[in-house]
Every structure is written in C-alpha cells, then in structure tokens.
Amino acid sequence: MTLELRQLRYLLALAEQGSLGRAAAALAMTQPALTRGLQQLEREVGAVLFERSKKGVAATDEGRVLVARAREVVAIADALDRDLLRKEPSHVHVTLGAGPYPAETIVPGAVARCVARNPMTHVRVVIREWDELLRMLRKREIAFFVAETSTLDNEADLAIERCPSHPVYFVARRGHPLARRRAVRAADTYAYPMLALTRSPPRVLGPMLAARPAAAAGPSRPVPAIELASVAAAQRVLVASDAIAPLTLSCVGDALERGILTVLGGEPWLHVNYGIVALNDQRMGAMPALLQQELQAEEAALATAEAALAARHVRPRRENARR
C-alpha cells in the first residue's frame, strides 16, 4: 500500500473540519471529488476511516491512528518545502507532459523562451497520450500537461484551461490520387492507409467510424493502419506512400509551403481540442506558471499562422462541396 501526500491532506482536512462540505471548501475542490478520494483511501487502507452522520463525519479508531501518522508526514513534507524555498536553488527542474499535437506546435517555443530567460532551469517534456498523462499527473510525476481535454469534463480534481480548437485536415503527398478531387471527405480516405499522429478521442472516432463505407468482400483495412507520434516520421511515410494523415496545418506548414504535401479536405467535426491541465490542489511553482503563460502566448501566434496557411492551402468549403 502506497499512500500519496494528497490523500493524507484529504484525511487531515476531514478530521479538522468534521464535514465533507467544509473540508472540500478548505481543499478548493468539490464535495463529490473529495468523497471519491476518501472512498479510494478507505479501499487502499482496507478499513472505514470515518463514520458519517447527519452532524458530519467523525474518525473511527483506525481513522484516528492514520490521522496522527498523517500529521507527522504532512508536517515533515511542509517543513521540507519551506527549507527548499528558503535556499537559492542552483537549478530548477520542471517536468511537463504534452500530447503529440501541442508537442509539435506550442511546446517547443514556450520551453525555448523559458530556458533562455532562466538559464538555471531544466525542463523535461514527456510526450504521451492524454489518458497516460492524466495518470502521471495524479501520481505527481509531472507538474501539468497540455493535451486533449474532451474526455476530462467530469474529472472534478482537475483545473483545465482550455485552448481554442484547431482544425484538422486530411493531408497526403503531392500527386496523391485523391488530390485530383475537389472534395475529399472521411469516407473517401478509407481506400488508403490512414496514419494517425495520436489516438482519436471518442468525439472524433465516432463520426470517423460512421463515415466508413459499406464493407466490401474480404477483410477491411485497419484504421489507423499506421500510428506515429512524430510529425517528422509521419511526413516521411506520407511522401513515400499513398497514406493519408489527419493533421493540423501548423504541423506540416513547411511541407505545404514547399509543395511536398497537400491538403485533400476535411470535416466540420475534425479538430483538436487541447488545454493545459493541472491538479486543483497542487501548488504551482513560479517556473511551471511561467511555462503556462508562454504556452498561451504560443497559442495566440499559432492561431495567426494557421489562418494564413488555411488561406493559402485549403479550398473554400463551398468549392469542396462540388465534385
């Protein structure tokens, strides 16, 4: 059994406040989230820690023992924090998570500016899918992450700062058989290998599967046929084959400008929705906060760049409507 410091703080807040509502307010979280946290803690401990009544909650014998130990552990952790803050650190280490799209677009510039302004800073970027990043965040292995947020709406322990959505288009090599068409929709792409930069969230996977043409005789092609978390590697695959990839224009802007790749078309529901995600009860240091500010600045610049790319490389939707 391994208890987290976050769980011990839940325990102490409940013992001190005597009420789920007051404890949730003190922790700056919702009561349902605190209730779930307490239930998880009791499952891990294997004992009922609080007795519930109309008057509130009161620690059981097992709960009082754990509360006493928790006070010692939390006091040591708080003292360590204070000691570290009093010292002038030689280096500041920050680990953040990123989904494949923001890792290719807004993260590099934000990290570069932070390190340039703070030479003693060490930044580690972990690139994973959004569900893996969520697990890492809750284990406090990363300070925050920037990734797809559409599946996180009901996660009460999270603080989410959503970024504007970014259109995604079907992209392929110049001279691709579908490039001759005026309108390329999701159904048309099933005749070719699909390359995915990231796993599709349910809001995209649903309409994508619904667009699948009626199955022909024989086994159908797997979708996606290729999964790569690297835009550079994905571009090499696209150039060397008839594969198609759903990508934001910012990921392949240079290849579009040089005429190596081309935009085939898109769908209204095809876009990425990412945001900056942190834990409600996690104290944000100066450097993680600065990184978040720089990410927002990169977002503003990215929107301008993508609009310019769309004006040059995406045919108007009314023209796309004709074959």
Helix (H) or strand (E) holding 100: helix 100-104
Neighbours of 131 (CB within 10 A): 14
Cis link prior to 193 (omega < 30° from 0)?
no
Given a cut of 80, is residue 218 above it in pLDDT? no
Q: Which residues contact 154 (CB under 8 A, 6 or more apart)?
A: none
- Phi, psi of 248, deg, nearest 5: -75, 155
Domains of the chain: 5-86 (1.10.10.10), 92-165+274-305 (3.40.190.10), 166-269 (3.40.190.290)
pLDDT tens digits, 65-110: 898 888 888 888 777 766 655 555 556 889 999 999 999 999 999 9
Beta bridge partners of 92: 121
Structure tokens at 66: 């754990």
- Work out the pLDDT band at 295, boundaries 50, 70, 90: very high
Given a cut of 90, is residue 258 above it in pLDDT? yes
Distance CA 57, CA 181 (A): 67
Distance CA 320, CA 323 (A): 7
* Between residues 3 and 204, the one the model is more confident about: 204
- Out of 2-6, 43-47, 240-244, 245-249, which region has the weakest mean confidence (pLDDT)? 2-6
Taking the whole predicted model, whether its pTM rises above 0.85 is answered as no
DSSP string, 145-156: EEEE-TT-TT-T
What pLDDT is attached to residue 97?
A: 95
- Work out the pLDDT band at 10, boundaries 50, 70, 90: confident
> Is 12:57 a contact under the CB 8 Å cutoff?
no
Distance CA 211, CA 214 (A): 9
Given a cut of 90, is residue 52 above it in pLDDT? no
- Work out the pLDDT band at 215, boundaries 50, 70, 90: low
Given a cut of 50, is residue 323 above it in pLDDT? no
Given a cut of 50, is residue 251 above it in pLDDT? yes
Considering only CA atoms, give the Rg of the chain.
24
